[in-house]
Amino acid sequence: MAYYPYEPHRDISCKLCDRECAFNASLLMCRCVRRDIALPYEVEWDKEPSGKRRFCDNDITFTRCWVRVLDEVEKCIDKHCKKQCWEDQYEVSITQDPWPDPYFFEEEKEKFKRIDIRNFREARNNLTKIRIVFGTLNKITYRHRAKYEQIELFSYMGGFIGIWIGVSFLNVLDYGTVLANWLIRRIRQYREDKKFAAALSGGFDDGTKH
């Protein structure tokens, strides 16, 4: 299935790519989008002619089309979503308060007028103040690398092969030594048996002459 509008060469995060797969598959197969997989930015192709976004009902997960969506999402992720080279994770806690408060607005009223904010209510409806405070400045970096580089791999292989050949050569020497000792003993035994047989035959000859 072709996922429209899919742009395969865009530089997006792995999580966003996964969500786009789910988003597009849901929209094409179920004609609506679940709220939990809606994209974090507005797009035109998920809106009805009236301008409302095509959000699914809560029971969409129990329908047949959603089962097909899950299958297609898995295929889309395998085909289009590459594994990310790095990932930044932060432990976050979010608090929110109404801003600005009336006293602050009155103090900075001239500054608000410069951006066409005329009253306190308009400021609250159109402005957001974000403050980021790092709980700690510690940074933990996990690096993944191959256990053995190519040169190291060949070096280790050469070392193991050399050890194996050396051990095999020693075994051959041991077996050769055992075989040589066995042959020497057999030859000596053969010579001794031959001498003994000759001595016996000589004694029998002397007795016959008498």
**pLDDT by residue (tens digit) across 173-183?**
777 888 888 88
Per-residue pLDDT at 129: 84
**How far does Cα 184 stand from its chain's mean position?**
64
Report if residue 190 sits inside a domain. Answer: yes
Report if residue 95 sits inside a domain. Answer: yes
Per-residue pLDDT at 132: 82
Report if residue 2 sits inside a domain. Answer: no
Tokens representing residue 75 in the block: 């295929």
- Do 131 and 154 reside in the same domain of the chain? no
Final residue belonging to a domain, choices 57, 80, 103: 80
- Do 23 and 57 reside in the same domain of the chain? yes
- Do 202 and 169 reside in the same domain of the chain? yes
Report if residue 184 sits inside a domain. Answer: yes
Q: Which domain holds residue 188?
A: 146-210
Final residue belonging to a domain, choices 99, 117, 144: 144
- Do 36 and 57 reside in the same domain of the chain? yes
Q: What angle do CA 72, 79, 88 make, to 5 degrees?
A: 105
DSSP 8-state symbol, 101: -
Report if residue 130 sits inside a domain. Answer: yes
First to last CA, the chain: 118
CA pseudo-torsion sign 25, 28, 30, 36: positive
Spatial distance between the Cα atoms of 75 and 69, rounded to a whole number of angstroms: 10
Q: Nearest Cα to 75, choosing from 44, 29, 31?
A: 29
- Do 59 and 76 reside in the same domain of the chain? yes
Per-residue pLDDT at 65: 80
Residues of the chain scoring pLDDT < 70: 1-11, 40-54, 58-62, 166-167, 202-210
Q: Give me the half-sphere count of Cα atoms (radius 13 Å) on the Cβ side of residue 124.
A: 13
Per-residue pLDDT at 204: 52
- Do 184 and 174 reside in the same domain of the chain? yes
Tokens representing residue 73 in the block: 């999402």
Report if residue 50 sits inside a domain. Answer: yes
pTM for the model stands at 0.40
Is the CB of residue 30 less than 8 Å from the CB of residue 66? yes
- Do 110 and 76 reside in the same domain of the chain? no
Per-residue pLDDT at 59: 65
- Do 130 and 150 reside in the same domain of the chain? no
Phi-psi region of 116 (alpha: psi -120 to 50; beta: other; left: phi over 0): left
Per-residue pLDDT at 52: 58
Per-residue pLDDT at 51: 53
Report if residue 51 sits inside a domain. Answer: yes
> Domains in the chain: how many in total?
3
Is the CB of residue 14 less than 8 Å from the CB of residue 21? no
- Do 137 and 152 reside in the same domain of the chain? no
- The three-state secondary structure class of 155 is helix
Burial-class residue 189 by CB neighbours within 10 Å (0-12, 13-18, 19+): exposed
- Do 154 and 201 reside in the same domain of the chain? yes
- Do 210 and 153 reside in the same domain of the chain? yes
Spatial distance between the Cα atoms of 15 and 41, rounded to a whole number of angstroms: 14
| AA letter at 59 | D
Spatial distance between the Cα atoms of 80 and 78, rounded to a whole number of angstroms: 6
Report if residue 111 sits inside a domain. Answer: yes
- Do 131 and 152 reside in the same domain of the chain? no
